[in-house]
Structure 1
Amino acid sequence: MNPIICSAIRSKQVIRLYYRGGFRMIEPFCYGASTAGSELLRAYQTGGYSESGSPSGWKLFRVSEISDLTLTDEHFESTRPGYNPKDPAMVTIYCCI
């Protein structure tokens, strides 16, 4: 478990990270594990690189593929349309808003 991710979720702090080809700015909402045991992070991406060409919106990140994770000085609101704290992609939740 990554304590930096849980700290960012608790403090509603924007994260900058590198994932699959580029840097992204995200609002972390839910961090847990899948049925296969992979650590996952559900976040709302607000900017940066996107494989799909859509840099804004809900994304699911495999924590094992994240690098250069840093906390920013920015904070966000605790609500976004479409957020489900009982994320169906995760069977274990370490921390969430």
Structure 2
Amino acid sequence: MWTQTACAALRSGHVLQLRYDGYTRDVEVHAVGFTNDDNAVMRVWQVAGGSASNEPVGWKLLSLDETVEAVVTTERSMAPRPGYNPADPVMKVITCQL
């Protein structure tokens, strides 16, 4: 699981680069937590990279279990982005957030 890495990116204010769904993605982590089904997820703003939905920029909810690799970059995050909801209804438990 990539919970610690995602929270490290959030706390440091840096972009997280990851492999997800066969694509490299650069994301700004806004919150990391667990769903009602105890799935680890992160709410992110994707700034660059690929996407199965062909939407390379914007809000995403990513499952940490589907992340193949992740590294905190030196690029500064511009979080919080417009529309960020600190009371994310998808997460029953929030591990870290802005």
Q: CA deviation at 1:77?
A: 2.6
- What number of residue pairs does the alignment pair up? 97
Contact 2:8 2:72 in 1 (8 A): no
CA RMSD of aligned residues (A): 1.1
Correspondence list, 1:10-21, <5 A: 10-21=11-22
Match of 2:24 in 1: 23
Q: Structure 1 residues 82-91 or 4-13, which shifts more?
A: 4-13
Correspondence list, 1:1-97, <5 A: 2-97=3-98
Q: What letter is aligned with 1:38?
A: N
Percent identity of equivalent pairs = 37
Q: What letter is aligned with 1:37?
A: D
Q: Which consecutive residues of structure 1, in runs of 5 or more, have no partner in the other structure?
A: none
**Stretches of 4+ aligned residues off by more than 6 angstroms:** none
1:65 & 1:77 partners in 2: Cα distance?
A: 25
1:4 & 1:46 partners in 2: Cα distance?
A: 18
